[in-house]
A and B are shown apart, each in its own frame.
Chain A
Amino acid sequence: MLQAINLSKKFKTKEVVKQVNMEMPAGESIGLIGPNGAGKSTTISMLSSLIIPTSGEVLWDGKSITKDPDPLRKKLGVVPQEIALYPELSARENLAFFGRIYGLKGELLETRITEVLMKIGLSDRQRDIVKTFSGGMKRRLNIGAALLHRPSILIMDEPTVGIDPQSRAYILETVKQFVEEGMSLLYTSHYMEEVELLCDKVYIMDQGEIIAYGTKEELKELVSSNQTIELRVNLVNANFEKALTNQLPTAIVRTEEELLTISMPKNEEPLATIFAIAAENNVVITAAIVKVPSLEDVFLHLTGKALRD
């Protein structure tokens, strides 16, 4: 298990990571979300032994990695946000280089390269120079370069930034397979749906601090105990609105042209009542959406800003 205990990092006078505590049990997939400048990359760098913390500890299987990072490094694969590849070398040459510096050689190296190329779907382009690749192909190779030594933990920092939806879907599917195969994953992304898809637990970070963590459901519970129902109606009349308020006393009803928004406690099931009131008042409901809180809403609620701000 990889643990961060009271991890802090100061650059000159600015404290960019403050007392962060995290846990990454074996086989689990963890999401780390936060706006730009929240301290995610610095935290990842400390967790992966690239930066020494100002205070606090990173433990791998209970032992500090500050003095001896090698046991962690052998098990760790890191996919940085940047395309950390040599553009002048071919895909295969890149993989061969990264494999060799991990001590792989000969037949074993060749087998691993072929295996990784298959996984990332670049077998047919393996001899091509990387600078001729599309953004999505570079991203896939970027992931592949972290897999050659078969790590048991994979840390991915925004691995789908700036690529087309098709490549993004391919990458997500690939990463999902890694998780299903039992690889531990620490995943950061601006795309909340990616974190929702891949991660069991999520840490939310803002201004260097972990402001919330838990399973996706636990976090959504944090947002509010309310549910929001949006109704699109053909003709809003005052009676309908009044009837709703009377029969659903816990509801807050707002009208905006043809859109009616009803907020009320989550434990109630109001849809049948709403449709009955609509029928009594000759109101035709053309669409009804029960909005479940998303991680985006959680984030907005906790930080007061959207994730991409």
Chain B
Amino acid sequence: MLFTLILKQLKMLSRNKQPLIILLVMPLVLITILSNALGSIMDGEEEQAIQANLVIIDDSSWDQEKDAIVNFLQQQGLTGPALESLLLQFEKNDPAHILKNNILNSDEIKKYIKVEDKQKADMETLREDMKIDGILRIPANFRLDYIETAYFNKQKLLDLSLYLNQENEIRASIISSILTEWQSEYTKFLALSNAGVSPEQILNNQTSVEKIEQVLEANERKIPASIYYTVGMLVMFALYIPSFLAGFALQEVQWKVYDRILLAGVSPTWYTLSIFITGSLVAFIQQIIMLLFGRFALGIDWININAMIITIVSFSVFIGSLSALLTTLQFRTKTDGIANLFNGLVITVFSFLGGSFFSIRDLSETLGKIGDFTPNGATMSAILSIQKGQDLSVIWPFMTVIYVLVIICILLSIVFFPRRGVAE
């Protein structure tokens, strides 16, 4: 039943030129025009990916240094099982191994840093490659020197060298924050090792991820015109969906098709629910098309897909609830005045406050804050925050606004639905 109603509404939308033009063609055309026309003004630099490229040149390895380490331990008077046991412990606690296999290989860190391992590579040649954001060189005797310093109180210089490509500050900062943290932690370990604390306990990923997030907060990704206007048009044109669906519903009442639907035993609640679901579905499809257009036509690299999905699903649910409310109000008034008012005035004001045309915050911080309380403004702010590289948690205040509005729309739909029947 519900599926039949939804399918019929989708057919009505798809077979009318006006909704297709307004919901799909116009936003795509405007995104293209605005992104290109305003791109040179808004975009200071090229959009940059957030994942940093790190090359690790390890001039040695545990296996290569193992003989030297065994020699050193024998010189210290260790033999037999005691030596073997220590060897195992040292191998397990090797900071280079922990960096490469535990820290940089973790799923959380892999999102931010792509690692390439090279041995005996020429650092100077690598420096010329502008795609590389950082190069870490682990010297030949690093493991032996570390063991001597950490466990035998020898004061050896642990001479790691780190090169950072400053062409991209954010990516360089990400690498720097991780490696600084790693260095700092294993230095701490030098002091704590006598207390029997495992380096794995100290060198944990969570700390590294937090450091990266601090870097990202301090150096947000710049939002180019293509992203800004794709999001701006996406949230603005989704607002036209409710008035189309409410308009079709009013036509159904005027044509007496709605009477037929009621006579077939479809309750007004099911009917309104079908409008709600259709609105949500169409909004979701429309937004996906806009985002794909941005990806493939404008080359936008949408990041943090999970947060994006949460945001567009939430906004789609709002569009569904607004569709149900406008339908209810049109049923009550039996005119299309409400939808016309919404299309003509409310969408324009909301789009202005929400920042679809330009960043309203540049004009007034107060207006910007008000805009964050509009559904489109909240969604736009959430998506732009995500695209700046901010954490998922940044969207929750905006999602709270969206869901409060969803609840208000649903409650108003229930309150205003004509109790005595639409036919009267």
Q: Which residues of B contact A93 (CB under 8 A)?
A: 11
Question: At the interface with chain B, which of A96-104, A205-213, A231-239, A294-302?
Answer: A96-104
Within 8 A of A (CB), among B367-414: none
Q: Which residues of B contact A76 (CB under 8 A)?
A: 263
Q: Which residues of A contact B255 (CB under 8 A)?
A: 82-85
B259, CB-defined interface residue at 8 Å = yes
Q: A84-B257, A86-B12, A88-B12 are known contacts. Are A50 and B265 too (CB-CB below 8 A)?
A: no
Q: Which residues of A contact B12 (CB under 8 A)?
A: 86, 88-89
Interchain CA distance A111-B20 in the complex, whole Å: 34
Within 8 A of A (CB), among B1-25: 1, 4-5, 8, 11-12, 15-16
Q: Are B423 and A85 in contact (CB under 8 A)?
A: no
Q: Are A101 and B1 in contact (CB under 8 A)?
A: yes
Q: Are A50 and B16 in contact (CB under 8 A)?
A: no
Q: A11-B424, A101-B1 are known contacts. Are A74 and B259 too (CB-CB below 8 A)?
A: no
Q: Which residues of A contact B15 (CB under 8 A)?
A: 88-89
Q: Are B256 and A80 in contact (CB under 8 A)?
A: yes
Q: Are B4 and A85 in contact (CB under 8 A)?
A: no
Within 8 A of B (CB), among A60-79: 70, 73-74, 76, 78
Minimum CB–CB distance for B422 against chain A, Å: 9
B264, CB-defined interface residue at 8 Å = yes
Q: Are B256 and A84 in contact (CB under 8 A)?
A: yes
Q: Which residues of B contact A85 (CB under 8 A)?
A: 255, 257
Q: Which residues of B contact A185 (CB under 8 A)?
A: none
Q: A97-B8, A101-B5 are known contacts. Are A82 and B256 too (CB-CB below 8 A)?
A: yes
Q: Which residues of B contact A261 (CB under 8 A)?
A: none
Contact of A52 among B260, B262, B420 (CB under 8 A): B420
Q: Are B423 and A101 in contact (CB under 8 A)?
A: no
A171, CB-defined interface residue at 8 Å = no
Interchain CA distance A73-B264 in the complex, whole Å: 7
Q: Which residues of B contact A123 (CB under 8 A)?
A: none
Q: A70-B265, A74-B265, A80-B256 are known contacts. Are A50 and B421 too (CB-CB below 8 A)?
A: yes
Q: Are A101 and B4 in contact (CB under 8 A)?
A: yes
B261, CB-defined interface residue at 8 Å = yes
A8, CB-defined interface residue at 8 Å = no
Q: Which residues of A contact B1 (CB under 8 A)?
A: 100-101, 103
Contact of A86 among B257, B265, B420 (CB under 8 A): B257
A126, CB-defined interface residue at 8 Å = no
Interchain CA distance A98-B261 in the complex, whole Å: 8
Within 8 A of A (CB), among B228-273: 254-257, 259-266
A292, CB-defined interface residue at 8 Å = no
Interface string of B208-239 (1 = CB under 8 A from A): 00000000000000000000000000000000
Q: Are B260 and A51 in contact (CB under 8 A)?
A: no
Q: Are B263 and A48 in contact (CB under 8 A)?
A: yes
Q: Which residues of B contact A89 (CB under 8 A)?
A: 8, 11-12, 15
Minimum CB–CB distance for A125 against chain B, Å: 17
Residue of A nearest to B7 (CB): A97
Q: Which residues of B contact A101 (CB under 8 A)?
A: 1, 4-5, 260-261, 264-266
A49, CB-defined interface residue at 8 Å = yes
A45, CB-defined interface residue at 8 Å = yes
A204, CB-defined interface residue at 8 Å = no
Within 8 A of A (CB), among B83-135: none
Residue of A nearest to B5 (CB): A101
Interchain CA distance A93-B14 in the complex, whole Å: 14
Interface string of A88-124 (1 = CB under 8 A from B): 1100010001101111000000000000000000000
Q: Are B421 and A52 in contact (CB under 8 A)?
A: yes
Within 8 A of A (CB), among B162-186: none
A2, CB-defined interface residue at 8 Å = no
Interchain CA distance A88-B12 in the complex, whole Å: 7
Q: Are B420 and A100 in contact (CB under 8 A)?
A: no
Contact of B259 among A50, A70, A100, A102 (CB under 8 A): A50
Q: A97-B4, A100-B4 are known contacts. Are A73 and B256 too (CB-CB below 8 A)?
A: no
Q: Which residues of B contact A81 (CB under 8 A)?
A: 256
A145, CB-defined interface residue at 8 Å = yes
Q: Which residues of A contact B264 (CB under 8 A)?
A: 73, 98, 101-102, 149
Interchain CA distance A98-B259 in the complex, whole Å: 11
Within 8 A of B (CB), among A124-158: 145-146, 149
Interchain CA distance A80-B257 in the complex, whole Å: 9
Interchain CA distance A112-B255 in the complex, whole Å: 24
Q: Are A50 and B257 in contact (CB under 8 A)?
A: no
Interchain CA distance A103-B3 in the complex, whole Å: 12
Interchain CA distance A81-B12 in the complex, whole Å: 22
Minimum CB–CB distance for A120 against chain B, Å: 16
Q: List 9 A-B contacts (CB under 8 A).
A: A45-B259, A51-B424, A81-B256, A82-B255, A84-B257, A88-B11, A101-B266, A103-B1, A103-B265
Given A50-B259, A76-B263, A101-B4, 12 additional A-B pairs, CB 8 A: A45-B259, A73-B265, A83-B255, A84-B255, A84-B256, A84-B259, A85-B255, A89-B8, A89-B11, A89-B15, A101-B5, A101-B266
